[in-house]
Amino acid sequence: MDEAEIKFEEIGIEEKKILLDILGYEIGEGGIILDKHTKKEHICPITESVVFIENASVLPGSTVVINTSELSLAEYFTKFVEMRCK
Protein backbone atom coordinates (compact mmCIF):
# COMPACT_ATOMS: atom_id res chain seq x y z
CA MET A 1 0.00 0.00 0.00
CA ASP A 2 1.28 3.47 -0.88
CA GLU A 3 1.56 5.87 1.99
CA ALA A 4 -0.65 8.93 1.65
CA GLU A 5 0.45 12.25 2.99
CA ILE A 6 -2.36 14.29 4.45
CA LYS A 7 -1.79 17.97 5.00
CA PHE A 8 -4.27 20.22 6.75
CA GLU A 9 -4.60 23.87 5.87
CA GLU A 10 -6.40 26.18 8.24
CA ILE A 11 -8.33 28.85 6.42
CA GLY A 12 -10.43 31.74 7.63
CA ILE A 13 -14.20 32.08 7.46
CA GLU A 14 -14.12 34.13 4.24
CA GLU A 15 -11.96 31.53 2.49
CA LYS A 16 -14.28 28.76 3.76
CA LYS A 17 -17.26 30.64 2.30
CA ILE A 18 -15.55 30.83 -1.10
CA LEU A 19 -14.62 27.14 -1.03
CA LEU A 20 -18.10 26.09 0.07
CA ASP A 21 -19.64 28.28 -2.64
CA ILE A 22 -17.56 26.46 -5.26
CA LEU A 23 -18.74 23.13 -3.79
CA GLY A 24 -22.41 24.14 -4.04
CA TYR A 25 -23.10 25.41 -0.53
CA GLU A 26 -24.09 28.72 1.00
CA ILE A 27 -24.20 30.04 4.54
CA GLY A 28 -27.58 30.50 6.12
CA GLU A 29 -28.79 32.26 9.22
CA GLY A 30 -26.66 31.55 12.26
CA GLY A 31 -23.79 30.20 10.13
CA ILE A 32 -25.50 26.95 9.11
CA ILE A 33 -24.22 25.48 5.84
CA LEU A 34 -27.02 25.01 3.28
CA ASP A 35 -27.21 23.28 -0.08
CA LYS A 36 -27.43 26.11 -2.64
CA HIS A 37 -30.07 24.39 -4.75
CA THR A 38 -32.35 22.75 -2.19
CA LYS A 39 -31.71 25.23 0.65
CA LYS A 40 -31.62 22.24 3.03
CA GLU A 41 -29.20 22.20 5.94
CA HIS A 42 -26.04 20.22 5.24
CA ILE A 43 -25.84 17.22 7.54
CA CYS A 44 -22.43 15.84 8.49
CA PRO A 45 -22.23 12.25 7.20
CA ILE A 46 -20.36 11.22 10.34
CA THR A 47 -21.99 13.09 13.24
CA GLU A 48 -25.40 13.26 11.53
CA SER A 49 -25.91 16.81 12.74
CA VAL A 50 -25.98 20.16 10.95
CA VAL A 51 -22.65 21.73 10.05
CA PHE A 52 -21.85 25.32 10.97
CA ILE A 53 -19.28 27.38 9.05
CA GLU A 54 -17.19 27.90 12.19
CA ASN A 55 -16.80 24.15 12.71
CA ALA A 56 -16.69 22.93 9.11
CA SER A 57 -13.87 20.95 7.54
CA VAL A 58 -13.56 20.06 3.88
CA LEU A 59 -11.57 16.88 3.88
CA PRO A 60 -8.44 16.48 1.78
CA GLY A 61 -8.92 15.01 -1.67
CA SER A 62 -12.69 15.15 -1.42
CA THR A 63 -15.71 17.35 -1.31
CA VAL A 64 -16.92 15.89 2.00
CA VAL A 65 -17.88 18.61 4.48
CA ILE A 66 -17.97 17.47 8.10
CA ASN A 67 -18.14 18.81 11.63
CA THR A 68 -14.59 19.14 12.88
CA SER A 69 -13.93 17.03 15.94
CA GLU A 70 -11.39 14.41 16.88
CA LEU A 71 -14.07 11.72 16.65
CA SER A 72 -15.39 12.72 13.22
CA LEU A 73 -11.89 13.06 11.77
CA ALA A 74 -10.83 9.69 13.19
CA GLU A 75 -13.93 8.00 11.78
CA TYR A 76 -13.48 9.58 8.36
CA PHE A 77 -9.80 8.61 8.11
CA THR A 78 -10.52 5.08 9.31
CA LYS A 79 -13.00 4.71 6.44
CA PHE A 80 -10.56 6.44 4.06
CA VAL A 81 -7.78 3.97 4.92
CA GLU A 82 -10.15 0.99 4.62
CA MET A 83 -11.20 2.14 1.13
CA ARG A 84 -7.56 2.59 0.04
CA CYS A 85 -6.69 -0.92 1.24
CA LYS A 86 -9.39 -2.60 -0.85
DSSP secondary structure code for residue 59 in this structure:
P
Residue-wise pLDDT for 61-75, tens only, equals 667 888 888 888 788
More confident residue, 76 or 11: 11
More confident residue, 16 or 63: 16
Is the pLDDT at 8 greater than 80? The verdict is: no
The pTM score is 0.75
Backbone CA torsion sign across 33, 49, 43, 62: positive
Instruction: Give the separation between CA 10 and CA 16, rounded to whole angstroms.
Output: 9
